[in-house]
C-alpha cells in the first residue's frame, strides 16, 4: 500500500472546478484514518473538460479519474485505495485498456507540455528526475560554444511559437552578432488571446522548462540577464515562477558561476504586466518593462540590435523556450523529425468553443484541422454541424469547415487568411453567426488598440460601428466594400501586429461567409438566429396548448392569451430575449 500514489491536478482550471477542495478532503481523510499512500500535486494535463482530475498509481497500473468532487474522492479512497477496486464510472484513462477519452491523448506528441500534469511544478527534484537541467549541464560541462548552441536550434527548425513563426536560431544569431557587453533575454508570457491559456498552463505546470530554455538562450546570445514579462492576472503562474527561480538559484542554475563554472552567469527576474493585449508585441513589451506606456515602436532597429535599455535583446514566448531543453538534450534531428518541411516540431493549441473536449493539446505540425477537432476534440456536442474554426486569437481568421483538411502549419494556415498566433483554436457550429463573430473579435481589438496609429485607432472603431449596424438590421449594401477598404488601410498603415492583423476576422468571414453578410443586409435575417434585433418570435397555433408558461415568464408582458387558448406575441413590445422559446415545452415558439 505504501507504493500507492494519489495525485491531484491543481492548475488554475482544476482549482476553478473545485480541485483544491478535493485535495484538502483527501489530505484530511489520509491524516484522520492514517491511510498508507502518498499524496501530491501536479498541474493541468490538458484535459480541462474533465476537471477536477485525480490520478492513482498503484502496483496494477495508472488510473486517471475525471469529474471528481469531494464525495467522489471519498468513494475513490474507499473503493480503489482501501479495496483495490478501481471505479470505472469515473475513469478517464488508464494504461490497462482503451477508454472513450483515450483518443484525446492518442495523436499528441508532448514536447513543450512533456511534464505538465506529471510533475509537481513546485518541486525542482521532480523536474530534474525527468531530465531537467540536463541540457544546460550538457552545454556547460561540454564547453559548447554559443555558435554551436545556435546551430543546433537552427537545425531543429524551431520557429517562434508566439505567432510570427520566425526561425528561432536565426533570431538568436542576430542578437549574438551584435557585440555589446550588455544583452538581455526576454520571455513574453503576456499574449492575450486564447493561446495565452497555454502560456499560463506551461508556467503553472512546468516553470523550470521555461527557465532552462531562457538560460540556454542567454548562453547562446551571450546575455547575463533575463526578464519574464507575465500578466498580473496569472497569480498561480507568478507564484510558481517565483518558487522555481528561488530553487534554481539555490541549485546553482541561476546567478553567478552557473554549475560552478567561473564566468558563466545568468539570472532572471519577473516583470508583471497589466494585461494589455498590445504588450504581446515585442517593442510595446519592452516599453512596458522600462516603465513606459506599452506602445509599439517603429522597426528597424529590431530588438536584436536595440531592445531593452537600447541593448541587444532576444525575445521569445513561453512555448518557444519550453522546447529548447528538449532539443538540446534529444538533438535537433529528432525534433525536426516531427512536422513538415517548413514547420518542424509540435504546436500546442488551446481548444475552446463548440467542442466536446476543450483543453490543451500538443500535436505535430502538419496535422489537419479535422484531426484536431474530431480526433482529439471529440467533435461538436449536441450533434450540431461543424461550421468553422477561428485560429490565431482575436486577430486571427475564420477557416470554414470545407477547408478543415488544411494542414496546421505556418504556410498553409496563412494561405487561408488566418494566422497561427500563439495557439488559440475556437470551434464554431451551425448556431454561430459569422458576422457576429467578426463583430465580437473586432470589438476586442478595437478596445485593445494603443491608439498610436491613426488607422488602427479610428479604422477599427469605424469597422466595428459598421458590423454593429449590420447585426442590428440597419446595414447597407455599401457597408461590405467599405469594410474591405478600411481593412486594407488598417493592415498597411499599422506599426505592430495588432493593427496589421486586427481586420483578419472580418476579411476571412467576408471571404468564406459573404452570404451571411448579404442575408443580414438585404433580407434583414440572421441565418444562425443569433442577432437578436433580426429575430422574430411567433407562436405556432398548431402546437400551442395554452399552458401560459410563455406569458408568465415574459419579462415585458408581450405575450397574451387565455388559458388553454392560442397565445400571441406583440411584436411591438417583444425584446427578442428568447425566454419564451427556452421555457416552452411544446415547441410552440418559432424563431424566424
pLDDT tens by residue, the chain, 592 residues: 457 999 999 999 999 999 999 999 999 999 998 888 999 999 999 999 999 999 999 999 999 999 999 999 999 999 999 899 999 999 999 999 999 898 899 889 999 999 999 999 999 999 999 999 999 999 998 989 999 999 999 999 999 998 778 999 999 999 999 989 999 999 999 765 544 678 899 999 999 999 999 999 999 999 999 999 998 889 999 999 999 999 999 999 999 888 777 778 899 999 999 888 888 889 999 999 999 999 999 989 999 999 999 999 999 999 999 999 999 999 999 999 999 999 999 999 999 999 999 999 999 999 999 999 999 999 999 989 999 999 988 889 999 999 999 999 999 999 999 998 878 899 999 999 999 999 999 999 999 999 999 999 999 999 999 999 999 999 999 999 999 999 999 999 999 888 999 999 999 999 999 999 999 999 999 999 999 999 999 999 999 999 999 999 999 999 999 999 999 999 999 999 999 999 999 999 999 8
**SS3 readout for 14-82:** HHHHCHHHHHHHHHHHHHHHCCCCEEEEECCCCCHHHCCEEEEEECCEEEEEECCCHHHHHHHHHHHHH
The model's pTM = 0.93
DSSP H stretches of helix in 253-368: 282-289, 318-330, 332-336
CB 305 within 8 A of CB 178: yes
* pLDDT number for residue 423: 84
* pLDDT number for residue 257: 81
- Separation CA 230–CA 207 (nearest Å): 12
Q: Are strands 5-9 and 53-58 parallel, antiparallel or unpaired?
A: antiparallel
Instruction: Cell numbers for 140, please give them.
Output: 556547460
* pLDDT number for residue 3: 79
The full DSSP string for 404-432 is TT-B-SHHHHHHTT---TTSEEEEEETT-
DSSP label at 301?
Answer: S
* pLDDT number for residue 196: 62
* pLDDT number for residue 368: 97
* pLDDT number for residue 191: 63
CA dihedral 400, 404, 408, 412 (to 10 degrees): -60
Which domains does the chain show, CATH number per domain? 5-100 (3.40.30.10), 124-336 (3.40.50.11540), 346-429 (3.10.20.600), 434-523 (1.20.1440.230), 535-591 (3.30.70.20)
Name the β-bridge partners of 230: 189, 272
CB 498 within 8 A of CB 277: yes
Amino acid at each position: 500500500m505504501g507504493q500507492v500514489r494519489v495525485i491531484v491536478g491543481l492548475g488554475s482550471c482544476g482549482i476553478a472546478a473545485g480541485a483544491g477542495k478535493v485535495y484538502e478532503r483527501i489530505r484530511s481523510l489520509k491524516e484522520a484514518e492514517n491511510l498508507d499512500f502518498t499524496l501530491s500535486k501536479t498541474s493541468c494535463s490538458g484535459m480541462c473538460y474533465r476537471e477536477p482530475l485525480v490520478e492513482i498509481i498503484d502496483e496494477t497500473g495508472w488510473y486517471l479519474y475525471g469529474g471528481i468532487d469531494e464525495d467522489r474522492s471519498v468513494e475513490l479512497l474507499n473503493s480503489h485505495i482501501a479495496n483495490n477496486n478501481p471505479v470505472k464510472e469515473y475513469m478517464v484513462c488508464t494504461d490497462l485498456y482503451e477508454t472513450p477519452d483515450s483518443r484525446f491523448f492518442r495523436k499528441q506528441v508532448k514536447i513543450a507540455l512533456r511534464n505538465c500534469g506529471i510533475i509537481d511544478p513546485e518541486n525542482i527534484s521532480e523536474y530534474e528526475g525527468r531530465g531537467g537541467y540536463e541540457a544546460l549541464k550538457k552545454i556547460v560541462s561540454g564547453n559548447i560554444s554559443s555558435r554551436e548552441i545556435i546551430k543546433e536550434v537552427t537545425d531543429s527548425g524551431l520557429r517562434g511559437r508566439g505567432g510570427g513563426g520566425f526561425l528561432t536560431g536565426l533570431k538568436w544569431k542576430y542578437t549574438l552578432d551584435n557585440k555589446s557587453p550588455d544583452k538581455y533575454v526576454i520571455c513574453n508570457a503576456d499574449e492575450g488571446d486564447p493561446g495565452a491559456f497555454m502560456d499560463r498552463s506551461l508556467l503553472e505546470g512546468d516553470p523550470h522548462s521555461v527557465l532552462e530554455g531562457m538560460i540556454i538562450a542567454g548562453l547562446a546570445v551571450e546575455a547575463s540577464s533575463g526578464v519574464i514579462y507575465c500578466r498580473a492576472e496569472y497569480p498561480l503562474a507568478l507564484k510558481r515562477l517565483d518558487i522555481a527561480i528561488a530553487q534554481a538559484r539555490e541549485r546553482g542554475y541561476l546567478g553567478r558561476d552557473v554549475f560552478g563554472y567561473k564566468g558563466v552567469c545568468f539570472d532572471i527576474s519577473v516583470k508583471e504586466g497589466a494585461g494589455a493585449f498590445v504588450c504581446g508585441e515585442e517593442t510595446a513589451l519592452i516599453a512596458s518593462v522600462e516603465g513606459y506606456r506599452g506602445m509599439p515602436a517603429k522597426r528597424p532597429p529590431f530588438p536584436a540590435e536595440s531592445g531593452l535599455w537600447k541593448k541587444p535583446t532576444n525575445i521569445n514566448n513561453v512555448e518557444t523556450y519550453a522546447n529548447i531543453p528538449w532539443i538540446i538534450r534529444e538533438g535537433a534531428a529528432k525534433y525536426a523529425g516531427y512536422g513538415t518541411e517548413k514547420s518542424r516540431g509540435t504546436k500546442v493549441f488551446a481548444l475552446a468553443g463548440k467542442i466536446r473536449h476543450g483543453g490543451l493539446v500538443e500535436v505535430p505540425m502538419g496535422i489537419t484541422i479535422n484531426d484536431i477537432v474530431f480526433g482529439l476534440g471529440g467533435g461538436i456536442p449536441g450533434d450540431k454541424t461543424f461550421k468553422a474554426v477561428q485560429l490565431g486569437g482575436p486577430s486571427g481568421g475564420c477557416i470554414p469547415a470545407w477547408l478543415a483538411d488544411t494542414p496546421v502549419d505556418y504556410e498553409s494556415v496563412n494561405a487561408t487568411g488566418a494566422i497561427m498566433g500563439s495557439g488559440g483554436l475556437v470551434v464554431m457550429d451551425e448556431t454561430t453567426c459569422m458576422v457576429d463573430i467578426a463583430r465580437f473579435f473586432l470589438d476586442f481589438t478595437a478596445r485593445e488598440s494603443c491608439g498610436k496609429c491613426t488607422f488602427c485607432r479610428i479604422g477599427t472603431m469605424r469597422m466595428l460601428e459598421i458590423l454593429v449596424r449590420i447585426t442590428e438590421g440597419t446595414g447597407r449594401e455599401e457597408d461590405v466594400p467599405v469594410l474591405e477598404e478600411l481593412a486594407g488601410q488598417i493592415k498597411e498603415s499599422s506599426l505592430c501586429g495588432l493593427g496589421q492583423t486586427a481586420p483578419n476576422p472580418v476579411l476571412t468571414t467576408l471571404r468564406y461567409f459573404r452570404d451571411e453578410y448579404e442575408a443580414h443586409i438585404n433580407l434583414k435575417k440572421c441565418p444562425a438566429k443569433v442577432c437578436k434585433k433580426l429575430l422574430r418570435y411567433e407562436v405556432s397555433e398548431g402546437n400551442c396548448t395554452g399552458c401560459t408558461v410563455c406569458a408568465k415568464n415574459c419579462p415585458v408582458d408581450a405575450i397574451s392569451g387565455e388559458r388553454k387558448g392560442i397565445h400571441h406575441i406583440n411584436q411591438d413590445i417583444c425584446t427578442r430575449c428568447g425566454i419564451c422559446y427556452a421555457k416552452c415545452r411544446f415547441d410552440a415558439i418559432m424563431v424566424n
